Structures are given as structure tokens and as C-alpha cells.
Chain A
């Protein structure tokens, strides 16, 4: 099967190459689907690549229901393509199935549906709910004493949901050091700049106030992401929030600039621009 990877540390260069593959998958599948959120998916690629292929997530694509596995919850469910691309490369399903995204009968629905596809740890798409589910997983792992770690990725616009802060407070109360929340701070939400729509800064300060360890990193820099995940894993006695500063549509920023659409929210790359987008991703300049 094409592209099946072992869950072991690989060299940075091969991880970067894989990140480029995920970006190309995201672009191709959303253009084929004719809808979706490629730019929201592309900002998160380095974090997802590091988690699944950098030796962090204890997750076997051939045994995706193992009881003691680590969990990754994509709370920003509209970025489903990045999750599907990672699961395909983990061998959960055939790579060519990515092209069924959003089609009737496909396991790859517009937003993740855990009933349809193993490897999806929470059905998401109504924003704000994934971190609470992550707290539940982390509590269950503590009861089971199985060492499972749960990673949750939220968006930055998603932080407007009050439930996020209910969950943050409860994770602080239970000192869940087996829980890591990564905020994909790509700076944009549906109608514009996240800071303009509803300013939730300082994000790290808010999580810190609820008893979390916090880090602020360049989330499109794989080395920084890997270092941050190592620190999160080593942190004891409290959960970690990684504020991952990213660019929406990272990998095709030149094209988005040319198209005068830095946000590029909730739409696929038109077929006429796809080759240019893929070439820019392959060049790997950001």
C-alpha cells in the first residue's frame, strides 16, 4: 500500500517531505470534492505530521482501536482533510480513497464522523466540543492506568466557544498531564481576522490561568513543533497548551497572495489553479 509509514521517529527531512505530501493530498481531495476547507487544513500540517509520524502518537493504523492507543481529536472538524490524509498515510484506509471526500457513501464525510471511520476519535464539526471529549479520554486513561495520552487540536476562532474554557478549567482541576491541547492559531476565521472578530488573546495566558503549562511556537516549523510536543509529553502534574502560530493555507501563500485572498476560507482551489498550488507546495517555500 502506498505511503504506509511506521510510527517511529524519522529524519526531519523525510517528515518535511511527508508534510508536503499531506498538503498535496489536501489540495487534490478538496478540489476533487468541489468544496471543503483546504486552507484551514494546511495550517495544521506540521503538527499533524509530527504527531502521527514523528513518534509521538501511539497509534497503529492496522490496529486503530487498540485500547491503550493515544488519541488525536480534531476539534476544528472542518480541517478534516488533514486528518484523512494522515490516516491514509498511516494505512488506516487505501490512499486512493481520499478522492471520495464528501461524496455520498464515503467514509470521509465533510466533517469527521467516528462511526464511519476508525482513527477518528470524536465526531466534530460543531465547534468547541473536542476539548471536553479529550478531558473524558484523559480521565479514562487515568482510571485504566494505561499511559494513553490525548491530543486535541482546536482552531483559534473556536476559542470563542465557552465550552472550551469549561473544559480548560476541568482539565486544570484534574491536573491532566496526559492531555495536550494544540491551538492552531492561523489568525483567520470565516469572516475575517480572528483578532477582529473576537479577540481571545492572550491565549496562553488564559490557559495558564486555568492551571495549564503553555508554550507559544511557530507551528509551521517542524523542528519547533517536535520540541514543543517533547516538552508537553515531559510535563507532569498539569495539562499543556501549545499555541501554534501558523499561517492559513501555509504551503501556498504566494498563490493566495496573488489571488488576493489570504484567508481563503471554506473553498477548494479551483482546478485551473491546482497545478500552481501543488508546484508551490512541492517547492516548500511556505
Chain B
């Protein structure tokens, strides 16, 4: 079902999937990045690298369903002076080829861009085997990697450009379903700098990827109940924006982290590690617990696994109460 599309329910207008925005951006940037090459593991029509491949066939190599070799080949191309991009499902490119990312890319700090698509439970029907829910944690554990999780089509496009402009290894996480629009076309995007989407004084919701839209919805709902919530789009997990976290902790005294990822090692872990050091405040988490996903519609799974605006608002109320006690 490579070409099929699905969408996530939201009160906000729908935009394209982040994988689609990435694919179009890559295709467009192929012209100015003459040394850009793409190594595919036979999923280019799912990850959308095929659009680059159709336009630049001499710079596109499909090495088959073999992610370990895919990453190694990209390392060689990068060592020879290319910007080498590899893409597959997040579950496969990160988990299958982890030692290659570690040894052939991270250790020699080569200019390899790793794009994991179909991240999270929002891919829906294909089920747990295809759902990368640990990819951010693993990517953050690779020394020297930048790790980005954009929220919508505009930020995915900007993240793709930032990734190519950055010298060194990058992991970019993109998703399968069409997702709500968060940004206007000219919105700022800087690696390592969180975007403040709403300001507030009682609690800060730190979110990325699919959870940014529910975070904004939750903030609106909380406002009507007298709770003023700041919302940060923490699109870069590594390096994390410590200044934004410090300000959030000091200004609002309570934090909720929302992400479509396992609790262990994701944005929540990174935020907790930093806030504990800078300015400890109560934190609550909306994420995936210690289990795999399963088949179902994206909508059903998002509801069942609690990645909703209602759950974010609930967590915010709990953490505000904890702050006062």
C-alpha cells in the first residue's frame, strides 16, 4: 500500500503527510545539491525518495531489501565527498542497520542523512512490525547525530533543507498519514531551536511530530478551564533546546511531554534529563508505554494508545495539581 494515504483526525485543517513534504523537498533540492545521492532499500515509493530518483536516476541507487548494505554504501559515497541519504521505514533503517549507523556512519562522522518514514503507531493497519516506536531513542544514542521530528508539511520541508545544509549525520523522522497544518509557509525552522507556538504561565506542553496538533488543541481546551499553557514544538530532540526548557521550567513550573514514541529514551527522557539538571519541576508524559502497537485504523490506534488532546489536557491538569501540592 505504498501509495495509499490516510489522515489523522483534527480540528485543524489537514496538510500533506510529512513523508510527502520530505519527498517533494528532496526532489526540489536535488538541483542545488549536485553531490546529493540517495540509496534506497526498495521502498522509495513509500518513503517518497522515488521522486528524487525519477528526476535524478544517475544519483539514485536501489540496493534492494538490505538496509545494512544500504547504510554502508551510503557511508562509502559520503566518504568520497557526497551527501548521501538513506531512507526506509523507521523500524527498518534504524533497527536493522543500527550497527552500520554506529560503525560506518556515526563513528567516522560521515555526511549521511537517515530518513525514517512510517514512524509511530499512526501508520495503522500494517501493525507492530512496521511501526518504528523506538527510533528516536536509538538515533539519539548515536554520538554526533542530529535528530529531528517535524510536525507538519511546512516543518518537514524546512527540516529537509536544514538536514542537507548541516554537515554531518542526521536522523529525520517522518510519518505516513496526512497531518494537520501547524505552520505558515514562512515559519522559522532552526536545528536545535524549539518553536513557541503558544505562550502560557501555568504549564508548558513540549511536543513534537504528530503530537504538536493535539498539544495545541489541549492548550485551547485548558484555557477555557483557566489553565494557561505554553506549547513548544521541540522538533529537534538532539541537540535539545536547553534554553527553551530552562525558560519553560522557570516560567511555568510544570511540564507535559507529548510524543508518538516509547517512553524509554524518547523526547520525554531527554526533557526529563535536562530539566532535572537545569531547574527540576514536575513532569508528566503522554507517550507509548512499554508495549508494541497493533493493527487498526490510525484513528482507532491513536485513541486506544492515548495520543490525544484529551490525554494531553488531563496530564496538564495533573501536573499543575502536582506543582501546587
- For B82, list chain A residues within 8 Å (CB): 140, 143
Stretch at the interface among B100-108, B113-121, B159-167, B170-178: B100-108
- For A113, list chain B residues within 8 Å (CB): 107-108
CB–CB B63/A140 < 8 A: no
Q: In chain A, what residue has the closest Cβ to B102?
A: A126
CB–CB B79/A132 < 8 A: no
Judge if B295 is at the interface, Cβ distance under 8 Å: no
CB–CB B103/A163 < 8 A: no
CB–CB B80/A132 < 8 A: no
- For B78, list chain A residues within 8 Å (CB): 136
Q: Give how many A-B residue pairs fall within 8 Å (CB-CB).
A: 109
- For A140, list chain B residues within 8 Å (CB): 76-77, 80-82
Question: Of B66, B76, B107, B109, which contacts A139 at CB under 8 A?
Answer: B76
Judge if B69 is at the interface, Cβ distance under 8 Å: yes
Judge if A278 is at the interface, Cβ distance under 8 Å: no
A122-B75, A122-B79 in contact; A132/B104 too (CB < 8 A)? yes
- For B84, list chain A residues within 8 Å (CB): 136
Report the interface size class on chain A: 20 to 34
- For A123, list chain B residues within 8 Å (CB): 103-104, 107-108
CB–CB A169/B103 < 8 A: no
Q: In chain A, what residue has the closest Cβ to B39?
A: A136
Judge if A212 is at the interface, Cβ distance under 8 Å: no
A114-B79, A136-B73, A136-B74 in contact; A122/B64 too (CB < 8 A)? no
In angstroms, Cα B100 to Cα A123, docked, is 11
CB–CB A136/B58 < 8 A: no
Judge if A253 is at the interface, Cβ distance under 8 Å: no
CB–CB B66/A136 < 8 A: no
Q: In chain B, what residue has the closest Cβ to A162?
A: B68
B215 to chain A, nearest CB (A): 40
CB–CB A135/B108 < 8 A: no
Question: Of B63, B75, B80, which contacts A170 at CB under 8 A?
Answer: B63
- For B81, list chain A residues within 8 Å (CB): 67, 140
Q: How many residues of B are counted as interface, with CB atoms below 8 angstroms from the partner's CB atoms?
A: 31
CB–CB A166/B77 < 8 A: no
Question: Of B39, B74, B108, which contacts A115 at CB under 8 A?
Answer: B108
In angstroms, Cα B82 to Cα A129, docked, is 19
CB–CB B103/A134 < 8 A: no
- For A121, list chain B residues within 8 Å (CB): 79
CB–CB B69/A163 < 8 A: yes
CB–CB A143/B63 < 8 A: no
In angstroms, Cα B39 to Cα A173, docked, is 14
CB–CB B76/A132 < 8 A: yes
CB–CB A132/B64 < 8 A: no
- For B75, list chain A residues within 8 Å (CB): 122, 132-133, 136
CB–CB A137/B76 < 8 A: yes
- Highest count of chain B CB atoms <10 Å: which of A114, A166, A167: A166
Question: Of A135, A144, A169, A174, which contacts B72 at CB under 8 A?
Answer: A135
A137-B80, A163-B69 given; name 13 further pairs at CB < 8 Å: A115-B109, A123-B104, A129-B99, A136-B39, A136-B72, A137-B79, A138-B76, A140-B76, A140-B81, A162-B68, A166-B64, A169-B64, A170-B73
Q: Which 5 A-B pairs have the closest CB atoms?
A: A136-B76, A132-B72, A140-B80, A166-B69, A166-B66
Which residues of B are interface residues toward A (Cβ below 8 A)? 37, 39, 58-59, 61, 63-64, 66, 68-69, 71-82, 84, 99-100, 102-104, 107-109
